[in-house]
Structure 1
């Protein structure tokens, strides 16, 4: 998968490397993402910009930590032939202020939290979801936990009872 990364309103950091690592770990747990023809854009931006996107595309008038905009449905992704032109999997946008606040509240690094949110976003682009049923949520969370473990990042859901 080819990644296009744009960084606005985030502090200096290894965001390209973090994104690449998150993508590789996610491909390892979700083989549909390992397709060489896939392209994904990841935007590191501000709460203000994510707020605008959330309002325009999801009719939610507030910022959120991560947004995913899939461009291939799950069936089309799984049926993708090896040969052919690039296929845009979708876009991911991360909101700096929300991500930083959440990381601080969780007592984890911004890098670890951003990695989790990139994994989460990529799984959404691959057709996974967590809103329709507990079973879907558990399946998606298990994939997130497995991908993050490959990167040495602790289970982000481990504090639930």
Structure 2
């Protein structure tokens, strides 16, 4: 008889709201999206910020003086330990410009950030970008979210 043992992955999520709008996803939505993108156990904080905080963090940690949609701060990769920072005005603007529901774009950014926490890097070359985008599509389709690209 073959015995297969599986270790259940643990998942811990903290959500922080540095800004508020009615269009923010609920904690259960955030949890489902982030957990679906976690290949291993994870301890993650997701923080929603305004443009000022987003710009400050992007400038301080990436040397880029503008607010971006999502920043990922990985501390460990197995288990995954890290922070995601989503700049709400940027995510909402991009959703409008791309004619997407806000929830779908928030889901994409959370999945995208979670993959970064696990070592995926779309800036490491075309092959890595394709690998990451395919993984994002694979996860998002489970939630009925269309190809974000």
Aligned to 1:22: 33
- Structure 2 unaligned segments of length 5 or more: list them: 1-10
- Structure 1 unaligned segments of length 5 or more: list them: 81-87
Distance in 1 between residues matched to 2:59 and 2:25, nearest whole Å? 29
- Higher RCO (C-alpha under 8 Å, 6+ residues apart): 1
Distance in 1 between residues matched to 2:147 and 2:113, nearest whole Å? 16
1:15 shift after superposition:
2.7
Distance in 2 between residues matched to 1:7 and 1:109, nearest whole Å? 20
TM-score (norm 1): 0.81
Which of residues 6, 31, 40 is equivalent to 2:16?
6
Higher helix share: 1
1:18 shift after superposition:
1.9
Aligned to 2:64: 60
1:89-139: CA deviation from partner (whole Å, max 9, x where unpaired): 110000111111100011111111011000000000001110111110000
Aligned to 2:7: none
Q: Give the number of aligned pairs.
A: 138
1:69 equivalent in alignment to 2:73? yes
- Runs of 4+, deviation exceeding 4 Å: none
